[in-house]
Amino acid sequence: MMKAAITGVHGYVPEYVLTNAELEKMVDTNDEWITSRTGIKERRILKGEGMGSSHMGAKAVQGLLEKTNTKPEEVDLLICATVTPDYVFPATANLICDMVGIRNVGSFDIQAACSGFLYALTTGTQFIESGKYKKVIVVGADKMSAIVDYTDRTTCVLFGDGAGAVLLEPAEEGFGVLDSILRSDGSGQIHLFQKAGGSRYPPTHETVEKRWHYAYQDGPSVFKFAVKNMADVSAEIMERNQLKGEEVAWLVPHQANKRIIDATANRMGVGPERVMMNIHKYGNTTAATIPLCLFDYESQLKKGDNLILAAFGGGFTWGSVYVKWAY
């Protein structure tokens, strides 16, 4: 069966660096507390009036097109995973296509919170495997600073802005996306959500005054659920594919919290030297964390490497994808 292989990856983060030291001046927190509990030292913030997730996504896609020598007219489909779309509509994917000169193709957004990139990657994979398309771009882009309350010390230390993109193309010889597991549990909505801005609670003076347009997180509940489910689904996909810990070249985990990442790696039997980690530099960029990891570690990847991608996000959503690296 034809597989969908990642044949290129590119990332983008804004220039502005928000350090723990700067956050100490904004809320009652300190570097030691943030670092010991999350592993985060700094995060990138997109500055500038009218700048949204699409601007970062377009930067990532433009870099991807250039490095893979792909012309805009060769792209068949673009999917963007985001929880911070520029607008309710049109889709951020539509805007990215316009910015980079991709015309007359399908483009749409997927919203699965921090698991969004895995959902989008799995969706894009189906179009390649079916033979319908030859070149599919999958983007993860989030401007989390737009929905973070910088008076709430429990959430403002966690998130940053960024984007990453991959190119999917047909592959044989067993390379590419080999397996995926996607899960959700809507009862988890009360623990991690943005209350207002949708059709339940459209914007009003009251919703703004109550600060309902910011992300809310019940940290202990999310942590407990994430540790169990991200580890469980990663172990499940390894067992399903008869993979032992030593056969996994890299764990590519969602960068939400270093302790969650460590727990997942331990459950899989993967040593810390084989875990992609950039949370210290970028914080949690939601749908962008996994492609940004692939971009940062690209030079260390070898053809044939077994990668386990794993994520957990609001909703709740979670999942794992098994990739055999193609270049």
Please write the tens of the pLDDT for every residue from 267-277.
999 999 999 99
| 75 Cβ contact list (under 8 Å, min separation 6) | 65, 102, 105, 135, 136, 137
Beta carbons within 8 Å of 100's beta carbon, 6+ residues apart: 58, 61, 62, 65, 72
Tens digits of residue pLDDT in 212-243: 999 999 999 999 999 999 999 999 999 999 99
Output the pTM of the full model: 0.98
Phi, psi for 92 (deg, rounded to 5): -60, -35
* pLDDT at residue 172 in the model: 86
Residue for token pair 């790696």: 265
Picking from 48, 120, 109, the residue whose alpha carbon sits closest to that of residue 84 is 109
Residue 1 pLDDT: 82
The pLDDT confidence band at residue 54, using thresholds 50, 70 and 90, is very high
* Residues with catalytic roles: 114, 254, 284
**Distance in angstroms (rounded) separating the CA atoms of residues 17 and 280:** 12
Q: Which pLDDT band holds residue 148 (cuts at 50, 70, 90)?
A: very high
CA 132 to chain centroid, in Å, comes to: 26
The helix or strand, by DSSP H or E, that contains position 172, with its residue range, turns out to be none
DSSP H helical ranges for the chain: 20-24, 31-38, 53-67, 92-100, 116-129, 205-209, 219-240, 258-268, 279-282, 289-297
| Both structure tokens of 241 | 């594919």
Mean pLDDT of the region 34-42: 97
Closest Cα to residue 321, out of 157, 79, 117?
A: 117
